[in-house]
Structures are given as C-alpha cells and as structure tokens.
Chains A and B, each alone.
Chain A
C-alpha cells in the first residue's frame, strides 16, 4: 500500500516555542486518519504544514511521495484543505462561492458540492455573512470537498456542527473514500466522532507524536487488565494507565500482557480509552509501529 502523507522529523517553531517537534508518521493512501490531541498539541500545525500553508522549521513533509510545494499546481490539485477558522468570502452568495471554487479548480465537482448544501437546506442564494456559524462551516466544507482532491486535510471539520450535520459529514467522508479512494486526515477533540470512521489514528501530545497506527492494530495491541494489584507486577514501560480501587487494579497496557495469574481478566479497550490514557500520560512510550504499511494492513492485523 502506498503512503499518502509522510513526515520525517517534522518540526515547526514559532519564535522560541515549538508548535510541533520531531514528528514522523505515515498515513496510508485511502485511509481516514484521525488526529487527536489536547489544545496546543500541534494538530493544526501538522495539518497546515501538510497543506503547504506553513513552512517546516525542520524535517520534511511529503504528499504522495512528493515534497510539499505550495507553489506547485500539481500539489495544489491533489490536496484539499479546510482551515479551522473556516475563511470564506462572506460578501458572496453561497452559489457564487461555489462558482468561485469551480473557476479555480480543474477537477471541481459542482454537482456534489451543490447537492451537499441543498440536502442540508442551506439557501444557495443567501449571502454567506447571513448564514449561521454552522451553515458557514458547511459551506466551507462543501468548497473543500468540491475540489475533489486525493488528500483532504480537515482541521476540526465537525466543530460548530449540529449532531445531524456531523452525521452527514461522516457519511460524506465515508462515501468519498469509498467512491474515489480519497485519503482523509481530520483533527478533532471528540474521539467518539472519529471512532466509527477512522481506520488510522494519530495522537499528538505536547508537540510530539505519541501514537501513529492503524486503529485495528492499535486496538489489537492494547489490553485492559483487571485483577488484584499485589499479585502481579508489570513492566512500567508498557503500562499506559493504571487505576487502583481497593485491592483491584485496572491497567491499560501496550503489547502482549504475557502470562497472567488466574485472578486477572483481559479485556479489549475501546479507542476512547486508549486515547484518553495516552493523553493523560504524555511521557508514555511512543506507539509508532516501525513495520511497513503493507505489513500493518495484512499480516499484522489479520
């Protein structure tokens, strides 16, 4: 399987502070990758670097094997970017905004973009400034989706959307991946939104990558262990989180838990548990499988 987005030792410094540091990851083509992390973790910085909106201070970022070059028409044609501020020309009407997108992009899909907004009952003949914040976000998303790019970089696309619209966006992304094989990298604070659609997960914490792996691989390689805490000892490196209530301990561990005593139970965690555990422990060992993507998607996961 080919790689849609790859970063190697990527970093971006803002004056004296690093917004992102030593970020190395690979997002496989055709996947929907979720990017999670607390505020200031570097999510927007990573997306902006991948979109060519910002220049790396160190390291490299490549899209479909080519270095990101914001001055290359070929790069621009392949990448769609939704900024978290949802900038739009608000003096235009919605239909004019779509027409503007059509003029600037050779592979513009006007039918999909228009249908998407019509389905959401957004009046096409209204000035964008008269729309609600959520509706404006939908227009921005429609402009981004209408570009029909091979890689979509979406910075918090679900923010300011109502639950129904979130469901719609989710479906739209799934359809796009299924129909066109689009690769999506989307950031969010809400893991439950990402869980049903993401097949790849990146966790950023304190400007560095904590986790970068296919979700199935991530789930298969993390376990919740429940049992009497004094009866068993674990390598602290593998323990991501631990809770002790009375005699009973609940641990989230990375990798093979090994041989456990008879009082211990092994459970499967959900994605949210894993994410929250990593976010609560920024010092946790990085979980970035070094095996090739092809292996990850075949042998390792089967």
Chain B
C-alpha cells in the first residue's frame, strides 16, 4: 500500500516538493533583501522599529509578506493535493472495492495509506520549519517594526504548529473525501473547511492558549509596559474594563454610553484638567482603557499548545475516517 500510494501520488508529491524548493529560494533571496534594507535604513539613521519610513525596508517587507503568505499556504496545499484525493479518488475509481476485498482490513488499509503520506508530511514540514524559523527570525531582527516572532504573521509560519497544521489538513481532507464526496465536491468543501481552520485558529483561539497580560492605560493616555512585554510582544487588542466598586454616574449607564459620551470632543475636553481628555473621561466614569498582550516569552508555550490541539484534532478526524469506512458500503 505504501508503494502504491507513492506511485499514485508521486507527481503530486514532486510538485509539492518543487513548491517547497521555490519557497526556500525565495526565502534566501528575501533574507538578503532584509539584510540590505537594514543596512541602508541604518545609514539613513531611520529607526523603522519606531515606525519611521524607509523605502528599502518597506519594499523588502512587501516581498517578505508575499513569501510569508506562500509559506502559510503550504499546509493548505498539502491537505488539498494529498489529503482530499487520498480516499476520494479510490471511491471515484472504485479501486476501494479492489483494496477492500484483499486480505487486509479496511482499518489497516486506511491507516497505512494515511501513514504513507502523513510521515513524509511531518518529516518534510519539520525540516522546512527549521529553515522558516531561521528566515522568520531574520525578518524580525532586521526590519520588524514592532512585534516579534509571536505575532500572528510569524506564528502561523514558524515553530512547530505549521507541522501539526499540515497533518491536520491532510487528515481533514481525507475525511472530507470519504464523507462529503457523496453530496458535494470534496475539493470545494476542503477549500472552505481549510480556510475556516486556518482563519479561526489565529484570530479566535490562539491568543487564549496562554494567560494574557492586561496593561491599563493611565489617565494621561500613557501605557507603561511591564518588563515581560519589553521584548516585542504580540499586541492582541485594546478594550475597556470597569473599575470595581465605582459608582456609575448619570452620564453613563452602560459601557457603550460611556464610550459614546467620552468620544464627544466637547465632553472629553472637560477632563483635560485631570489627565489626557479621553482616558481621563473614561476613568472618571469608571472605565479604564486597557491593552491586551501576549509576551514574547509565551511563543513556545503557544506553539506547543496550538500544535497539541492540531494533533488531538488529527487523532479525532482519523478515528472518524476509520469509523466511516468500516461502516459504509464500498
């Protein structure tokens, strides 16, 4: 089965291999561009970490972000090119009837077929992750204008999570090929499902996988970062929190009413004497402006927890795939 799967997929595997090689070439080229940009910008005494504009750096960054996107899409392509057709093609060509009438059980057949692609996926993605780690670190250290490796743009391509994501999408594609083929196009369904997984994780789940650090803003609008956030943290969002026990005044019965009130220039101007307008106004009405961060030190905790979630989901999806083919007719 290992050999037959390899024979069936060798063109697809070689194509993905060429994609990986092309990514490595682009990473090397852009890394040089980053280094040059850093040198040029420093000669001009431009500190891009403070948000100053430097043409060379912005050009390198735009090229870099294209490569970042291409790297981020690698697990997606693995899922779509290898995972989705893994069993769907067998059903389409009815070769599952041939395979399922041989001397190996469906469970063994599926697991071995899956392993044939899952093992190379993990090995190649692991080796590739080392190169990406080197590249992403260089982007951050040379021309990053704020966040470090922990920012979502870097998190999604570096570390161990992309390896587990590739495994998850490979398995999800396989399951979709088994179940959905009866009703919809497995490829179209896979595209939607993969984008949902890749979209939901960094935006809704990732930041909550480790304790966040909440930093209140002073009445003067100054955010003093604690030591834990000195080293390129991931700024997640800003918001408000109620000051416990504060008596809510006549102007503000709800958070939205306070925000609306303090957003009015005429209103916040009244509070300039006790601080800086808006935050002082908010504070006077029992609401504190806060910023939420993940410190850079949480990078590997988040990476391992994200990878753990993907691996656990992979296990569930593989079990569902086995259950489905054991149950369903050929």
Which residues of A are at the interface with B, using a C-beta cutoff of 8 A? 48, 51-55, 70-73, 76-77, 79-81, 83, 85, 87-89, 91-92, 96, 100-101, 103-107, 140, 143-144, 147
Contacts and interface: CB of A to CB of B under 8 A. Distances in A.
B230 interface: no
B98 interface: yes
B192 interface: no
A89 B7 CA distance: 10
Contacts of B104: 73, 76, 104
Contacts of B97: 53, 81, 83, 85, 87
Given A88-B95, A91-B8, A92-B4, A55 B101 contact: no
Contact of A51 (B96, B101, B107): B101
Contact of B107 (A71, A87, A143): A71
Nearest to A54: B329
Interface of B: 1, 3-4, 7-8, 93-107, 326-327, 329-330
A107 B102 CA distance: 11
Label chain B's interface by main secondary structure: helix
A87 B102 contact: no
Contacts of A54: 329-330
B100 A53 contact: yes
A144 B95 CA distance: 13
B182 to A, nearest CB: 12
Contacts, number: 77
A70 B103 CA distance: 10
B91 to A, nearest CB: 10
A234 to B, nearest CB: 45
Contacts of A83: 94, 97-98, 101
B7 A92 contact: yes
Query: 8 tightest A-B contacts by CB?
Result: A104-B102, A81-B101, A105-B103, A87-B94, A53-B330, A54-B329, A87-B98, A83-B97
B14 to A, nearest CB: 15
A132 to B, nearest CB: 18
B103 A106 contact: yes
A194 B231 CA distance: 83
Contacts of B1: 103-104
Contact of A71 (B4, B93, B95, B326): B326
